[in-house]
Amino acid sequence: MNHDLSGGLKDAMRRLASAVAVVSARSRDGGAVGMAATSVTSLSMSPPSLLVCVNRQTGIHASLFIGAKFNVNLLGNHHRDVASAFGGQMARELRFGVGQWADDIQGLPALADAQAVVGCEVDRLVTYGTHTIVIGAVREVRVAGEVQPLIYQDGRYL
């Protein structure tokens, strides 16, 4: 891989502002797993679906298999501590101690005061480079409060 090209792309992408989410699921042994993500986007409204790009080295990756359920918790601008915890600044086993997490009707961790929680089921997985593109069929949507998303750009929260 051309490291100058990779570095250039990384530098270019720092200029793209993105909303921050926490993807949460249950591991095969039932434990809560989650990761911060800015690579989340709607895919289609018919059928309702979204995609999440997940590095294969992350702890949640093994929990995202065909048919697995997961939540995309869209963070509000008051969730910097949650984003930092799930972004790798805290040990995996301590992350769900930051913020108000409770199991939803599917038994998945959901952030109580998230801007929105989108419940999905893994429909397709596409491997590309170091990541897996996880396509989730939307099964449930909960929206709360005013639109005040947490935005990440150039290595910091806005």
Q: Which pLDDT tens digit goes with each residue over 81-135?
A: 999 999 988 888 899 999 999 999 999 999 999 999 999 999 999 999 999 999 9
Instruction: Flag whether pLDDT at 155 surpasses 90.
Output: no
Q: What secondary structure letter does DSSP report for 6? A: H
**Average pLDDT value for residue range 66-93:** 94
122-154 per-position pLDDT tens digit: 999 999 999 999 999 999 999 998 999 999 999
The answer, yes or no, to whether residue 1 has pLDDT greater than 60, is no
Q: Which residues, in sequence order, are bridge partners of residue 136?
A: 50, 122
Q: Taking phi first (over 0 means left), then psi (-120 to 50 degrees means alpha), and beta for anything else, what does residue 145 get?
A: left
Predicted local distance difference test score (pLDDT) of residue 90: 84
pTM above the 0.75 mark? yes
Measured between alpha carbons, how far is 101 from 114 in angstroms, rounded to an integer?
Answer: 10
pLDDT value for 3: 63
Query: Distance between CA 26 and CA 96 in Å, rounded?
Result: 12
Rounded Cα–Cα distance for residues 79 and 81 (Å) = 5
Query: Closest Cα partner for 20 from 35, 36, 33, 34?
Result: 36
